[in-house]
Amino acid sequence: MPGDVLQPLFEHLRIQARTFFSGNLCTVAGFDQPKGQGDLHLVRRGKGEVRYQGGRPSLQILGPCLLFYPRGLPHYLVPDEREGLDVVCTSITFGSGVGHQLAGALPDVMRLGVEEVEPLVGLLFHEAFGTSEGRQAIVDRLSEVVFIHFLRHALAQHQAEPGLIAGLVHPQLQNAITAMHAEPARDWTLDDMAASAHLSRSGFSKLFKEIVGATPGEHLARFRVSITQELLARGIPLKVAAFEVGYGSSTALSRAFRELTGASPREWLKTHRDTSIPGHSKGHGNLAP
């Protein structure tokens, strides 16, 4: 029986939810999150639609539903003039590296029925529309759990597009990918990876490229650099990060880091700090006409 393909990712993933609106939305609200953040809308009741720019078709809302925009696709919530929308709007931040990789593997727009995540959403709505002390913290934490349900949904859909999600659900590749994620510092060889998938070297390489969209070595390097970004953002020295992700020296890690990001670890960290948004004080939906 296969293990939990998501757990090794969660060990390097810093998810933070921040709910910034709960109530009856009676006017148009625009959402355009900065890089690294997504939008989660939990509709309790009402009617309306989501509108997009660039000719993308509108999405109709008829009653309770959950909507998730992993990469903050710009959109507008347009409530019905008579009923409005009882909605909880939450910003999801994915951290610095692994989260970006995971969000990039998800569809632009995801939708779930409320019944698919009961009684979790029932409790969330109870807190969000209640008056009890500490409800903000409870709603934020429950929203993070809702995000995990969206990941489960993505895995269950077996999406056809090459990428990380497709690899994680592939019956022959999931063990190899999960093993790489669980032990990123291991001195992996192509033979090791292929053996985890019970395939020949050539068969494994061809299938991996076809399903994931990258070679096994490229995927491992990207995952290691993504972990490095998380560690650097937490203040971990580069030489410690190099040990954690399996590089023999900080120089070797810096070289790989620049090849994949276009910047040195120092340059990336400065840019990351300059563009960080403390406390999620910006990047929320514009709840004004």
User: pLDDT digit string (tens) for 109-124?
Assistant: 999 999 999 999 999 9
Last residue of a domain, one of 94, 128, 157: 157
- Give residue 243's Cα distance to chain centre: 26
Same domain membership, residue 200 and residue 247: yes
* CA atoms of 158 and 10, how far apart (whole Å): 20
**Amino acid, single-letter form, for residue 274:** D
240 in any annotated domain: yes
- The alpha carbon torsion through 25, 30, 36, 38 (nearest 10 deg) reads 40
Same domain membership, residue 182 and residue 144: no
**Amino acid, single-letter form, for residue 157:** Q
pLDDT at 43: 97
Same domain membership, residue 84 and residue 33: yes
Kindly give, in sequence order, each residue whose CB lies less than 8 Å from that of residue 260, ignoring residues fewer than 6 positions away.
221, 222, 225
Same domain membership, residue 204 and residue 64: no
* CA atoms of 175 and 24, how far apart (whole Å): 45
Q: Is 158 exposed, middle or buried (0-12, 13-18, 19+ CB in 10 A)?
A: exposed
Work out the mean pLDDT of the chain and round it to a whole number: 91
Q: pLDDT below 50 — which residues of the chain?
A: 1, 277-284, 287-289
pLDDT at 101: 85
**Amino acid, single-letter form, for residue 116:** E
Last residue of a domain, one of 157, 186, 203: 157
Same domain membership, residue 73 and residue 57: yes
76 in any annotated domain: yes
Last residue of a domain, one of 157, 189, 212: 157
User: Closest Cα to residue 105, out of 34, 156, 157, 166?
Assistant: 166
pLDDT at 108: 92
Same domain membership, residue 237 and residue 217: yes
210 in any annotated domain: yes
Do the Cβ atoms of 137 and 101 come closer than 8 Å?
no
pLDDT at 277: 45
Same domain membership, residue 16 and residue 63: yes
Q: In the chain, helix, strand, coil percent, each to 5?
A: 45, 20, 35
pLDDT at 160: 58
Same domain membership, residue 123 and residue 40: yes
Q: What CATH number does the domain containing 236 carry?
A: 1.10.10.60
Q: Sign of the CA dihedral 52, 26, 117, 138?
A: positive
pLDDT at 281: 36
Residue 207, token pair as written in the block: 């299938």
217 in any annotated domain: yes
pTM above 0.85, yes or no: yes
pLDDT at 274: 59
1 in any annotated domain: no
Burial 267-283 (b: 16+ CB within 10 A, else e): ebbeebeeeeeeebeeb
pLDDT at 94: 86
Do the Cβ atoms of 206 and 193 come closer than 8 Å?
no
Do the Cβ atoms of 150 and 105 come closer than 8 Å?
no
242 in any annotated domain: yes
Domain assignment of residue 103, given as a range: 7-157
Tokens 């299938």 correspond to 207
pLDDT at 207: 97
2 in any annotated domain: no
pLDDT at 265: 96
